[in-house]
Structure 1
Amino acid sequence: MGEDRSVRHEVRSIEASRVVEAPAAQVFSFLSDPVNHVAFDTSGMVRGSTTGATIAGVDDVFVMNMHNAIKSNHQVENHIVVYEPDRAIGWAPAEPGHTPAGHTWTWRLAPAAPDRTVVSLTYDWSRFSHIEMLDHLPVINCAQLLASLDRLAEAL
């Protein structure tokens, strides 16, 4: 397991990768269903999806129930900004009714064998526009990003 994982940390982004023992189509299908997002959350903030629909393309929005020390219980709209079936999916969180704040979560999938996929997860806050909240970013660290990938692998 350890030999199939890596981390890269830029100034305002973190990327982690690992090999998952599942085909890219299966990984993409799992990530496209917001109900599954609790399974790979390592921030402790994701409580569940309010949306029953599977993500179908760019500009879709799914809503998650969240909890953290700053806002307590709240909801976040996640705007789909990347959607390439079986290759990549990404979203930009926003306060309900507002434009995204400028941070994104992007999952990239690269088939490594028929039943193996290199999954890369990037958390990027380089365009975050809420200056008053910037000190609270990143919301997760490198170890948590890797743990998210591990949880995804376990869930599949």
Structure 2
Amino acid sequence: MTSTTGEAVVAVSRHIKAPAQAIFRTLADPGRHLDLDGSGMLRGGVFDFVVSGVGDVFVMRMHYEPYGDYEMKNHVVEYAPDRRIGWEPRPGRGHPDATEPGAAWGHRWIFDLLPNGAGATVVTEIFDGSRMPEDKRAEVDSGRAWWQTQMASTLERLAELCAVR
């Protein structure tokens, strides 16, 4: 497990004993995200479909103590089958910022997959907040250790779900 940081970018990598195709298939299915969630904030998908490309939008039910229950609309912005998938969350129903114009903070969740030997893949989960407003980037920087812990937990769960036994 490795972690890297940059200005408002947090990345955690893990070697997983599973082919990139199997891992990507899991990441592209929002219905599986609840099984992966290392943060404890996800409550499940709103629609049942598999992401098929840039422009797709999937909605996730969430819970964060200060906000309560809410939804996030995840706009797929990166999609390279078996290699990379990323989405930009935007506030949805119940989120305190949902009614504000320009509420999208510009952050992205990205999973980068690098095949690494027979049936193995190095997966890097990236939180890219470089497009966020200054005040929001500061929040990411102040909570960096929390982000890394949650991301490591997500990658551990992904490894358990996809590992070839």
The correspondence of residues 11-50 of structure 1 with structure 2, limited to 5 A, is 11-50=7-46
- Does residue 111 of structure 1 match 2:107? no
- Cα distance, 1:6 vs structure 2: 0.7
Which among 120, 128, 133 is matched to residue 129 of structure 1? 133
| Equivalent position amino acid for 1:115 in 2 | G
The correspondence of residues 34-73 of structure 1 with structure 2, limited to 5 A, is 34-73=30-69
Unpaired segments of 5 or more residues in structure 1? none
* Deviation readout 1:23-67 (Å, 9 max, x if unpaired): 000000000000111112122111000110100000100000001
Q: Distance between the aligned counterparts of 1:135 and 1:64, measured in 2?
A: 25
- Cα distance, 1:148 vs structure 2: 1.1
How large is the RMSD of aligned CA atoms in angstroms? Answer: 1.9
- Cα distance, 1:142 vs structure 2: 1.3
* Deviation readout 1:119-146 (Å, 9 max, x if unpaired): 0110111212384x55653584212211
Q: Distance between the aligned counterparts of 2:13 and 2:116, measured in 1?
A: 12
Per the alignment, in what secondary structure is the counterpart of residue 141 of structure 1?
helix
Which among 119, 142, 148 is matched to residue 142 of structure 1? 148
> Which aligned segments of 4 or more residues in structure 1 are displaced greater than 6 angstroms?
none
Distance 1:22 1:29, change over 3 A: same
Q: What is the identity percentage for the equivalent residue pairs of Structure 1 and Structure 2?
A: 35
Q: Distance between the aligned counterparts of 1:121 and 1:72, measured in 2?
A: 26
- Cα distance, 1:11 vs structure 2: 2.5
Q: Distance between the aligned counterparts of 1:8 and 1:136, measured in 2?
A: 17
Which segment is superposed worse, 89-98 or 144-153? Answer: 89-98
Number of paired residues?
A: 151
Q: Distance between the aligned counterparts of 1:29 and 1:75, measured in 2?
A: 23
Per the alignment, in what secondary structure is the counterpart of residue 113 of structure 1?
coil
Q: TM-score, normalised by structure 1?
A: 0.88
8 Å CA contact 1:79, 1:100 repeated in 2: no
Which segment is superposed worse, 94-103 or 114-123? Answer: 94-103
